[in-house]
Amino acid sequence: MRHAIAFAVGAIAFWAAHVVEAAHWHDWFHGEYEPWFLNSGRGILFTMGCVWLASALTAALNRSTRPVKGMALGGGACTAMTAVLFLTGPGPGTIFPIVLAAGGVTLLFSSVTGAWAGAGLRRFAPARR
């Protein structure tokens, strides 16, 4: 059950980041192309930050003794990324395998490092009874 929740959190985090990017694409991210997080350096950082924060919070708030490792959350973010790529805008384009690989590596890196940081924060939390 813990993995399903992390998967859903990852999908929601990516989707929420994409919605914010699409709404503020020209004024915040100075995007010249379609709203897509890999089309802007600021968009990449914003999406990575959102996924990182979601992963860190999920790991820090985890009540289980087993740590959340971030892979399930990253998988959810990658699934949402794939759905957004194929279902919105002009479509996936001809280089979609490269886009999926680059975006997937970026999101997985962000989710794993966020979970690692969140698990580190749990060490400073008061002991539970």
Domain boundaries, the chain: 2-122
Q: What are the pLDDT digits (tens) for 47-106?
A: 999 999 999 999 888 866 665 678 999 999 999 999 999 998 777 888 899 999 999 999
Is pTM beyond 0.85? Reply is yes
Instruction: State the DSSP string of 26-63.
Output: HHHS--SSSS-GGG-HHHHHHHHHHHHHHHHHHHHT--
Q: What are the pLDDT digits (tens) for 102-123?
A: 999 999 999 999 999 988 887 7
What pLDDT score was predicted for residue 127? Answer: 61
* First-last CA distance in the chain: 23
